[in-house]
Amino acid sequence: MPDEPVHQLNPSACKAEFTYEITVKAITIQDTGKGAKSVVENLEAVLRKIESWHQGSVAGFRITYRGTKGDEHPIEWDGNVAGVVKA
């Protein structure tokens, strides 16, 4: 069931397709537009997938998201809840 906590923490549950760049303090996520969901629609799963690849929290990173049209938005992530920062 999609609403169960086990499903929410499963990095393979990510339905977005994306690329990303990571430095010591920052992550930029680029939506490819090819996933079943956009990065924004599946943001927490995207961040959990990145954390699983890097085997640790990325909550302390400056995170930005680039949409398919090139628009860039800051992301807030505390390790549990993610959101796009409104200007």
Q: What is the pLDDT of residue 83?
A: 92
Q: Would the pTM of this model clear 0.95, i.e. be above it?
A: no
Q: Is the pLDDT confidence value at 27 over 90?
A: yes
Position 63 confidence tier, pLDDT thresholds 50, 70, 90: very high
- The CA distance from 17 to 33, in Å, is 7
Bridge-partner residues for 16, per DSSP? 37
Burial label for 39, CB within 10 Å (0-12, 13-18, 19+), is: buried
Q: Is the pLDDT confidence value at 7 over 50?
A: no
Q: What is the pLDDT of residue 9?
A: 54
Tokens 């939506």 belong to which residue?
31
